[in-house]
């Protein structure tokens, strides 16, 4: 048997982390709901289309898509997420357990890809984009959101004052996304970037929400154990610098939404 590569090990840990959150995900998903709905105006208004929801999670948006389009496929690499989706969503959806870097679909077989808050987890991103473009028909669309640099900057800077370990994943910049999608093979038709500021009662509330979303696997984290009570306490003290007069703790999510077309080459 082949030994798994670092990439495969990381992907498998991300999948496990999301999988363990499959039951709590829908209650913690305020940002995901907002961002996914926000893509709706870009959806094509023909229904005879074959659609791929890439990183479908609990299938909330896959189900909405299935209400409008003929053939909908939900793809996710987390078995638990897929099981949850399969049990709770429309029977007409086809579910695929697969990695976005190796999509088990034929070339040019999909009309558009919908992907809400997934590609920030795809490393290397260019390989995932290559796969998306391979399965898309010429002229097909990628309609997606992701998080870019600036996301969770309050948490990042509070931790930075305590140690140099990784506590928040590295997000791409808007410029990097432009470079990834504006190539010979694809082009960004429209994009938007906005800060969404969510409010938390305390830092534990924020940490619980990130855990409830399964968004807590950090590939570059050196210290794999708990961060230590003292360090955690010191970080929360620094987070107080961001406290709003109302006593609420803000966390910024910098949301990038993109409409990309596969070029006819
Ligand atoms: C933040 S959740 C979003 C779920 C869903 N799109 C939604 O809007 O509710 C990210 C999902 O992407 C999946 N995911 C992350 N990286 C993936 C990859 N490389 N291949 C397939 N699925 C992936 C995770 O398992 C998780 O279910």
Beta-carbon contacts of 37 under 8 Å, excluding residues fewer than 6 positions away, are none
On the CB side of 16, CA atoms within 13 Å amount to: 9
Q: Which atom of ligand 1 is nearest to the CA of 58?
A: 9
Q: Is residue 222 one of the residues assigned to a domain?
A: no
**Residue 178 contacts residue 188 (beta carbons within 8 Å):** yes
Write out the two tokens for 123: 């490393």
Rounded to the nearest angstrom, the gap between the alpha carbon of residue 159 and the centroid of all alpha carbons in its chain is 23
Lining residues, ligand 1, CB within 6 Å = 11, 14-15, 18, 29, 32, 36, 55-57, 60-61, 76-78, 81, 99-101, 116-118, 121-122
Q: Is residue 227 one of the residues assigned to a domain?
A: no
For the chain, which residues score pLDDT lower than 50?
1
Q: What is the strand order of the sheet 71-76 is part of?
A: 94-97, 71-76, 50-54, 110-116, 136-147, 249-262, 186-200
Q: Is residue 158 one of the residues assigned to a domain?
A: no
pTM of the model: 0.91
Q: Is residue 232 one of the residues assigned to a domain?
A: no
How many angstroms is it from 11 CA to the middle of ligand 1?
11
SS (H, E, C) 230-245: HHHHHHHHHHHHHCCC
Per the structure, the complete domain to which residue 41 belongs is given by 6-149+170-195+253-262
How many angstroms is it from 196 CA to the middle of ligand 1?
20
Total number of domains constituting the chain: 1
- Nearest in space to 53 (alpha carbons), one of 174, 189, 146, 144: 144
Query: Given this model, what pLDDT does residue 229 score?
Result: 82
Q: Is residue 154 one of the residues assigned to a domain?
A: no
Q: Is residue 97 one of the residues assigned to a domain?
A: yes
Q: Is residue 91 one of the residues assigned to a domain?
A: yes
**Residue 57 contacts residue 37 (beta carbons within 8 Å):** no
Q: Is residue 181 one of the residues assigned to a domain?
A: yes
Cα separation, 39 vs 265, in Å, equals 27
Cα separation, 214 vs 24, in Å, equals 9
Please tell me the residue having the least CA distance from ligand 1 atom 8.
116
Q: Which atom of ligand 1 is nearest to the CA of 100?
A: 20
For residue 44, the domain's CATH number is: 3.40.50.150
Query: Given this model, what pLDDT does residue 53 score?
Result: 98
For the chain, report the end-to-end CA distance as a whole number of angstroms.
39
How many angstroms is it from 120 CA to the middle of ligand 1?
9
Please tell me the residue having the least CA distance from ligand 1 atom 2.
57
Strands 249-262 and 136-147: antiparallel
């Amino acid at each position: 048997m082949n030994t798994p590569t670092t990439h495969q090990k990381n992907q498998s840990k991300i999948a496990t982390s999301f999988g363990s959150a499959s039951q709590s995900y829908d209650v913690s998903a305020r940002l995901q709901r907002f961002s996914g709905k926000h893509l709706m105006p870009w959806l094509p208004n023909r229904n005879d289309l074959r659609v791929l929801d890439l990183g479908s999670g609990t299938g909330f948006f896959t189900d909405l898509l299935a209400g409008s389009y003929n053939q909908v496929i939900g793809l996710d690499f987390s078995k638990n997420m897929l099981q949850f989706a399969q049990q709770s969503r429309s029977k007409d959806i086809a579910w695929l357990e697969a990695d976005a870097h190796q999509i088990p679909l034929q070339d040019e077989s999909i009309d558009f890809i919908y992907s809400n808050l997934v590609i920030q987890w795809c490393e290397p991103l260019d390989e995932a984009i290559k796969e998306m473009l391979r399965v898309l028909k010429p002229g097909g669309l990628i309609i997606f959101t992701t998080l870019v640099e600036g996301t969770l900057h309050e948490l990042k800077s509070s931790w930075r004052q305590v140690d140099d370990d990784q506590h928040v994943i590295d997000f791409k910049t808007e410029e990097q996304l432009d470079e990834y999608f504006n190539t010979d093979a694809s082009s960004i038709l429209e994009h938007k970037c906005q800060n969404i500021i969510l409010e938390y009662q305390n830092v534990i509330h924020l940490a619980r929400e990130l855990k409830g979303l399964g968004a807590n696997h950090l590939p570059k984290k050196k210290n794999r154990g708990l961060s230590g009570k003292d360090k955690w306490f010191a970080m929360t003290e620094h987070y107080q610098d961001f406290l709003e007069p109302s006593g609420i703790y803000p966390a910024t999510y910098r949301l990038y939404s993109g409409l990309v077309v596969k070029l006819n080459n």
